[in-house]
Structures are given as C-alpha cells and as structure tokens.
Amino acid sequence: MQNTVPARRVEERMKHFQARASELGLAATHQRRIIYRVIAKSAEHPSPELIYERVKREIPTISLATVYKNIKTFAAMGLVGEVGALPGSIRVDANLDRHHHLVCVNCKAVVDFCDSRLDRVRAARANPENFRILRYQVEALGLCPACQVAPARNKVRTQRRKHNG
C-alpha cells in the first residue's frame, strides 16, 4: 500500500494550508505547521496518537492534548478530513479531494479510493431522517491484501496494535 505522499504533493498541501489558514484567520504558527506537515505527509489516515508520536520527534515538549486540539481545529475549519465510521478513534485525512475509502475490518487500514460511480451515489430521499446531507463519501469495508493472507483472528484489537506498531 502506498503510505508515502510525493514531496511535491506535500508542498502543495502546505501552501493550501497556509493560504486557507490566513483566509480563515488561523495563525499558521511554527507548531501548527509542523503538525499539519506530519498529516500532509501521511496517506494512511493516521490517528491523533500516531500524529502525536511523529510531531514529538520535532517538538519533544508538545503534549497529546495540544496535538489533539489542533487536529480538531483543523477539522472544524475543513483543513483536514475525518474518516467517519471507525468506532473509538478519529482518523485524520489530509486528502481534501473527492474520494472514497477502502477500510480493512481487521487491521483498520484506510486507503483512498477514487471511483466515478461512487461519486454519483445519492439517497433516494432528499432529507432522510431529516438530515441535511452535506456530501457523500463511501466506505467500502473489506480485508486488505495483508489481512487476506494472514488468518483472520477474533482479537481484532490486539491484531490492530501489532499491525500499526
């Protein structure tokens, strides 16, 4: 799976971040730029905890709470996306282009997926359950290539820790 973002793409994302932050009145401080760059460099939809581990290499004194608070600010301002249907943990998405997700039900890997047919998915009713729908993003649940090879286990949680560590 491609987990690295090309350097050129990272720079584009950083430029977009600086421009949008200044439009929105968010100070693009040194700390915020480091946090955002860690997110921009990752294609794996990292958890706040993983982002914190990487930010700490550059700012050893930073706390998880600070990283978490900045991620929430970025998300509220539309500077990052969040992967929805994974219970228990936020997964942060630097890809702001229209796309869908392939989610591994075993190791919780999340992979970006472009599909013009999925782009056209619409509910039959305009406001189901009185929701005002903002956008559609499809999550296809399945098994990633690694988990198809490894025998599926019942202890999904421990498996996941091993995978990510």
Only segment of 12-20, 24-32, 109-117, 153-161 that touches Zn ion (CB under 5 A): 109-117
Strands 139-142 and 100-104: parallel
Nearer to Zn ion, 1 or 24 (CB): 1
How many residues in the shown chain lie near Zn ion by CB under 5 A?
9
Query: Which range, of 31-39, 50-58, 90-98, 129-137, touches Zn ion by CB under 5 A?
Result: 90-98
Rounded CA separation 31/108 (Å):
29
Indicate which single residue of 95, 137, 159, 164 sits in contact with Zn ion (rule: CB under 5 A): 95
Q: List the one residue out of 1, 85, 93 whose CA is nearest residue 41.
A: 93
Interface with Zn ion includes 44 (CB under 5 A)?
A: no
Task: Supply the angle between the helices 48-58 and 64-76 in degrees, to the nearest 10.
Answer: 120
The answer to whether residue 106 forms part of the interface with Zn ion (CB under 5 A) is: yes
* Minimum distance, C-beta of residue 110 to Zn ion, in the bound complex (Å): 6
Query: Is 104 near Zn ion (CB under 5 A)?
Result: yes
User: Is 107 an interacting residue with respect to Zn ion (CB under 5 A)?
Assistant: yes
Question: Does residue 42 belong to the site contacting Zn ion (CB under 5 A)?
Answer: no
Contacts 24+ apart (CB under 8 A), 7-14: 9/40, 10/37, 10/40, 10/41, 13/40, 13/94, 14/40
User: Pattern 119-148, binding to Zn ion, x per CB under 5 A?
Assistant: -------------------------x--x-
At 69 the three-state DSSP class reads helix
Structure tokens belonging to residue 157: 């949680």
Residue ranges in contact with Zn ion by CB under 5 A? 93, 95, 104, 106-107, 109, 112, 144, 147
